[in-house]
Amino acid sequence: PRDLVVSGYLYHKQAIEDWSRIIGPEEEAWETVNGHVPPGMKRTDSYASYLQRLSQDEGLIAEIDFRRHHFKTMATWPSDNPDIMILRYEDIIGDERRAFQTLFSFYDLPWLEKKIGGCLAGMYAAHRFRQTPSPHIRNPEPGQWRRHFTAKVNDYFNENYGDLLITLGYPMDNLVES
C-alpha cells in the first residue's frame, strides 16, 4: 500500500491521464479511477496541479487521501477464502516467474499453460521495462516508500491505514531509510 502511494504520487503529478487534469472535480468525476478528492484541494485545482504545488510530504499525504477507496477495498480482501490468493507486490516484482508459477499452481492450470505463463511472466517482467521509456511505467522497485516517506508521512499513513498494514502482513516499523 505504501509503494502504491509513492508510485501514484509521482505518476499523477505528471498529469498524464485526462481525469488528473479535471479542474475542481467531484467524486463522480473520479469514479473510473476509484479516487477520493483530497480535503485540501481547491475548486480551481486539478489533481495534477494540486500535487505540483505541494511539498513532497503534502503531496504524498494528498495521495494517501486520494487512495482512501483503494485502501478500504484492500482491507476487505477475503484472505481466508480458499479460492483467492493474495500476493504482495514485493513478492512478485523481481521474481515474476516464480510468483506466477505459484499462482498457476494455486489455480491448478494444466502443465502447458503453466509453462507458457511462466515464459510470458519472464518476458514481461518489470525489470525489462526499466529501460523502456513510457509515461505509464516508472521504476517498479518495491520498497521505495522507505526513501519517500518521512516520519510525518509515515505517521499520517499509520494513523489512517496502519490496520491495513497489519491485515496484509506488512511491518509498521522500518520507517525511513537514511
Strand partners, 134: 137
Interval 42-90: pLDDT, tens: 999 999 999 999 999 999 999 999 999 999 999 998 888 898 888 888 8
Cell, residue 14:
505528471
Q: Which of 39, 28, 35, 31 is nearest to 12 (CA)?
A: 35
Calpha distance 155→86 (Å, rounded): 26
Span 100-104, mean pLDDT? Answer: 93
Calpha distance 159→9 (Å, rounded): 19
Angle in degrees, 0-180, between the axes of helices 2-12 and 151-168, rounded to the nearest 10: 130
pTM reported for the whole predicted model: 0.84
Interval 112-155: pLDDT, tens: 999 999 999 888 887 766 555 555 556 778 888 999 999 999 99
Q: Which of 123, 127, 128 is nearest to 141 (CA)?
A: 127
The per-residue pLDDT for 156 is 96
Band of the pLDDT at 159, cuts 50, 70, 90?
A: very high
Is a pLDDT exceeding 60 seen at residue 97? yes
CA distances from 62 to 35, 76, 90, 136, 170 (A): 11, 22, 24, 20, 22
Band of the pLDDT at 176, cuts 50, 70, 90?
A: very low
Cell, residue 13:
503529478
Calpha distance 56→45 (Å, rounded): 17
Contact 148, 60 (CB under 8 A): yes
Residue appearing with cell numbers 477520493? 36
The per-residue pLDDT for 89 is 86
Band of the pLDDT at 171, cuts 50, 70, 90?
A: confident
